[in-house]
Chain A
């Protein structure tokens, strides 16, 4: 016991205290973003090992708290959830960004740079929160 604590002293404590129950739905304690994202399709399974961002969206096991998400991913999610730029379901993030800037809604420029840095259209960062879910 004490050795375990010692080994984690300089690591993140959240990895020790995180509790996940296999197969159970995400409870209200988790932040709103992941709850909403993982609310659909309880039976969904990922075949291959997905990227951390994708894991974050999936149900039950692998649900992460907001602190675990990178800054970039948080910004991308915030962009998805802002209704001012239009519905996000069924459209890729880059297309939605281009459309928002076409209509003069001034979407944040950094969202675009993040997506382009991650590989542009078609990359994992380009797939919105509702990709393959709706």
Chain B
């Protein structure tokens, strides 16, 4: 039978879709690639939870666990300076002290304000940033606390600060970049009758990666322009396996675009697109839903619900409350039938509010939990796929740090928390956390290869390559940015902030280098973007789904 077929030389992307359907025998079928997977969530799980403990135990454990690392770092950075505790600091002698930071912020909302002042401006601030110019920093250790200041010129401390090799001027204590709960070391002098004047600070630095990457990374382009991102994509070989990251689906909320969500689900399960697209979807080995499955339930807070006499427990109200969970269950069941899925609880999901959030209960997802391919994960979630170790959270930790420090770029916040070896430094001060007594599961003993954070305002990524706890500049410790091209500024996607890295710190020499790919996964309800991470090259690019037809929608990969 003669069928008209398109001329091979002029085949464009969607020609297979527009061509008449081929006979059954010709249909190409794609098999989904599979990958190894190991779950490492054990340290975030807790079986019994007693909430009658005090948080002082958690702070003590945190300091004790990081003290060893900090001490080695201090000896490495400032040889010859004695390390002592706050109670042992003597006046006029230059010492180094290791302790936890507490930042005094007058704009920080405090429960006591209800009794002392009227609400006014503070209540109206909402989730804004609480930094002010006069925030001050106090350092605490297990014995005492002391106020940290920066040296005034002409004092002994300033003279110490100006020695060659040490940080100068008002640089060392960057109060805007610190948050409560960080463990750091300060070097300085306690002036007679004054505060402790800081001449240099040091953080723990990135932990080493004990597990080497299975494949060496390809050389990265120096800058992060879109053209180079395309080049990074072109590096992808046909056999590459991808991990899909999505977060903030927001089902049930007012912002969720069900068409975009359904497009994404169809694409991931291979029901959408031309064979080229299906081939790419077949290479996705796993989907991770980084929190935010349920959107804000405005229906519950609406006028009908809060009217006097409204009963929140009657059948109608319960149906409104439970519908988003059922929608999530249906969506996850559809996805889990097609590919392995890890679902993490997020800030508004039906899980406990204190970090680390425990996995959502089986009974909440009756349809989806039947599939063995669904893994109900904790938040934060750590796992290993194809030899690559990934660690991610649903965004509460990074959002909270961003509220209390002056770092604007979310990737900088993520890098700073990795450099301090602590995922959630503001817990338990402003972020609810379980009162651990003898452990702190947020401490990073080893840096993962990929650190992803969900529910962020926009997509951004950066590859950080550093020597572990490398010196860099004396003041900022290992905070210096490494040469990293953010691969993936896909056209039409959210702002791909592929930052052109600054000077690379730590000369060449691949041995013992720490490599981390930082990924800020945007909220799907807001941007319709999911992120594909190549497990071989650690390059990632966004894929955008837009349900608004006629506005130049592209239902496929943005290259």
Contacts and interface: CB of A to CB of B under 8 A. Distances in A.
A127 B61 CA distance: 20
A6 to B, nearest CB: 52
B37 interface: no
A102 B438 contact: yes
Interface string A57-95: 000000000000000000000000001101101110001
A103 interface: yes
B409 interface: no
For A83, A89, A91, A95, which residue has the most chain B Cβ atoms within 10 angstroms?
Answer: A91
Contact of A98 (B52, B53, B142, B438): B438
Contacts of A89: 54, 56
B65 interface: yes
Contact of B437 (A83, A84, A95, A134): A95
A95 B54 CA distance: 14
B57 A87 contact: yes
B60 interface: yes
A89 B55 CA distance: 10
Contacts of A87: 54, 56-57, 60
Main SS at interface, chain A: loop
A87 B61 CA distance: 10
A99 interface: yes
How many interface residues does chain A have, given as a range? 10 to 19
Interface string B44-67: 000000001110110011001100
Interface string A91-114: 100010011001101000000000
Interface in B241-298: none
Contacts of A105: 64
Contacts of A86: 57, 60-61, 64, 142
A84 B144 CA distance: 11
Given A84-B142, A103-B64, A90 B438 contact: no
B65 A90 contact: no
Interface residues of B, number: 13
B143 A90 contact: no
A67 B235 CA distance: 80
Contact of A99 (B54, B56, B438): B438
A51 B352 CA distance: 40
A101 B440 CA distance: 16
Given A86-B57, A86-B60, A103-B64, A91 B437 contact: yes
B142 A90 contact: no
A67 B488 CA distance: 74
Contacts of A95: 437-438
B57 A83 contact: no
Nearest to B438: A99
A100 to B, nearest CB: 9
Contacts of A83: 142-143
A134 B54 contact: yes
Contacts of B60: 86-87
A91 B56 CA distance: 10
Contacts of B143: 83
Nearest to A90: B54
Interface in B509-534: none
Interface in B205-247: none
Contacts of B57: 86-87, 90-91
Given A86-B60, A87-B54, A89-B54, 9 more contacts: A83-B142, A86-B61, A87-B56, A87-B60, A90-B52, A91-B57, A99-B61, A103-B61, A134-B54
5 contacts: A86-B57, A91-B57, A98-B438, A99-B437, A134-B54
What are the nearest 8 A-B pairs in CB distance? A99-B438, A87-B56, A86-B60, A90-B54, A103-B64, A90-B53, A91-B437, A89-B54
